Amino acid sequence: MTAPRVERPGLFYPKLPATWWLRNANYFRFMLRELSSVFIALFLVVFLVQLHRLSQGPGAYAAYLETLRAPGWIIFHVVALAFALYHSVTWFNLTGVVQVVRLGERQVPPRLVAGASFALWAVVSVVLLWFLLRG
């Protein structure tokens, strides 16, 4: 990608240790967020397989659902959900930072912007749930 930097003699070039992300809570949270994508990706694979089984007919689908009832799978889903929530929360927190909203002369405080995003998220989730559970 980029040419490696030319090291000048005499200078000491520190290397970032592999455990850098354990040094401070913020780095750790950052790593968690990066890790969350892995779980979300895994969940999507599972979900795609599920769709595939559905296309193979009710029998195959029922068998698949049965497998998913195993405790291992349930734990996986709980963990994946937790990561998805974590990812979403951090993402929505960002909206306040990224999107500057101005009302006339004044800037709307980032917290409020993030708050509004959360509210919107909650409303959409409730609507979706209602839609799903109704059926």
Partner 1 sequence: MTEETMTLEVTRYRPGHDREPRTQSFTVPYRTDWVVLDALNHIKDRIDGTLSYRWSCRMGVCGSCGMMVNGVPKLTCAAFLRDYRPGPIRVEPLANFPVIRDLVIALDDFMEKLRRVKPWIIRAVEKPVSDGEYLQTPAQLDAYKQFSMCINCMLCYAACPVYGLEPAFLGPAAIALAYRYNLDSRDEGYRLREPVLSEAVGVWECTFVGECSVVCPKGVDPAAAIQRSKLAGATDWLLSMIMPWAGRR
> Which helix (H) or strand (E) is 102 found in, with range?
strand 102-103
> Which helix (H) or strand (E) is 134 found in, with range?
helix 110-134
CB of residue 83 to partner 1, shortest distance in Å: 17
The answer to the question of residue 34 lying near partner 1 (CB under 8 A) is yes
CA atoms within 13 A on the CB side of 84: 12
Cβ count near 83 (within 10 Å)? 20
Q: 48 or 100: whose CB is closer to partner 1?
A: 100
The answer to the question of residue 130 lying near partner 1 (CB under 8 A) is no
Cβ count near 21 (within 10 Å)? 16
For residues 92 to 111, the per-residue mask of contacts with partner 1, x marking binding by CB under 8 A and - elsewhere, is --x--xxxx----x-x----
Task: Kindly list the residues in this chain that would bind partner 1 in the complex (CB under 8 A).
Answer: 1-2, 5, 7-8, 10-14, 16, 20-21, 23-24, 26-27, 30, 34, 94, 97-100, 105, 107
